[in-house]
Amino acid sequence: MEKIYRPQEVADQLKIKKATVYELIKRGELKSAKVGKQIRISQDQLDEYLTRTNQTGQPAGLTDALPPVMDIPRFSADQASRQMDYLLHTNGLIINSQESRTVELLRSLLSQRENSLPLLHSYMNDYNSLYSLYYEKTHMALTCFCFRQFEERIGQISHFLPGKEAAVIHICTLKTGFFVQKGNPKKINSLKDLCRSDIRFLNREKGNGLRIYLDRLLTEQKTDRSFIPGYSDESLSHMSSANTVASGLADVSMGDFSHLAAYPQLEFIPLTEASMDLVILKSAMEQTCFASILETINSREFKDSLLHFNGYETFHTGEVQFTVP
């Protein structure tokens, strides 16, 4: 009878962490099966994985040397709606965003102020964050859209909030681009290189600001997306994108320059700048809790903390502009 292993038993055999086994399964490198609610790996599945890694010269525990990745699982529309309905009935302000580090920084500083409410983070991409704000299912949306002219970002946000007037509070600008292996062995220098048959691309998910910008460029250049190997493969975070390229599972992906600090295996090819902005409906701005948020964003402590992220700029941090209904 074929031997069947639990994830912990596989981790013990490969001398890696149990979390790494789950990551290998999640990325499709290690096949598995579900018995009820339990994950099990057969001897054949384990042998197939070991044979493949030996052939590529990549040790089974390579991902163990990389920073841990915590992608947020995908939610169905029904799940996301129920999650926000729950948060709306709790004592706090809901902020929708993929930018976890900035939310945590804002949450930490707000907790030290009077007249502030707890921040409840609902992890959503830029499109869905503004969609939720439009339907008033959230209190704030922290977005990150790419731009060619700084003023473009207001028009882009307005596009997702038809008929609504919103305050756009600038947080910072940051550098976005392509993650490639150290030394750029595949010589990836432009969007056209993504169409090469020897390139494996990892895209960002639909609704992410980088994905929206990429699709815009591809449309302008009349590039057929079907010619890009891996275009339909999606990553849910900057760190996951960097991790996938660093581990050799993709040749190029897109993300925020600041995450490069955790990956000495990578180089960065600049694409464009992006603007991180906190969007609040104008009708809510007079409430005391939002005044506390604005004061926090304008504080020296908040701005100095943002500068710890490599590539972040705070020249316009705290500036407020309004969308046109």
Rg value, the chain, Cα: 21
Q: What is the Cα 94 distance to its own chain's centre? A: 18
> To the nearest whole percent, how much of the chain has pLDDT over 70?
87
What pLDDT is recorded for position 119?
87
pTM summary value = 0.75
d(CA 140, CA 123): 12
User: Strands 93-97 and 140-147, how do they pair?
Assistant: parallel
What pLDDT is recorded for position 17?
78
User: Strands 266-281 and 166-181, how do they pair?
Assistant: antiparallel
d(CA 254, CA 266): 12
State pLDDT tens for residues 75-111.
444 445 555 554 555 568 899 999 989 999 999 999 8
d(CA 172, CA 319): 10
Higher-confidence residue: 324 or 245? 245
State pLDDT tens for residues 173-224.
999 999 999 999 999 999 999 999 999 999 999 999 999 999 999 999 999 9
Q: Which amino acid is at 258?
A: S
Cα–Cα distance list, 289 to 97, 106, 115, 212 (Å): 19, 13, 6, 32
Residue 321 in 3-state DSSP? Answer: strand
d(CA 29, CA 229): 18
Residue 152, token pair as written in the block: 């473009």
Q: What angle do CA 116, 119, 124 make, to 5 degrees?
A: 150
In 3D, which of 90, 94, 72, 200 has the Cα closest to residue 140?
94
Spatial contact of 223 and 51, defined as CB atoms under 8 Å apart: no
Please give the span between the terminal C-alpha atoms of the chain, in angstroms, as a whole number.
67
Domains of the chain (ranges; CATH) run 4-65 (1.10.1660), 77-325 (3.40.190.290)
Higher-confidence residue: 114 or 124? 124
What pLDDT is recorded for position 88?
52
Residue 189, token pair as written in the block: 């220098």
d(CA 264, CA 200): 20
Higher-confidence residue: 240 or 73? 240
Listing from the earlier edge strand, what are the strands of the sheet with 38-42?
Answer: 4-5, 38-42, 33-35
Sorted by sequence, the CB contacts under 8 Å of residue 94 that are 6+ apart come out as: 84, 87, 88, 120, 122, 137, 138, 139, 140
What pLDDT is recorded for position 90?
57
d(CA 132, CA 134): 5
Residue 5 in 3-state DSSP? Answer: strand
What pLDDT is recorded for position 20?
80
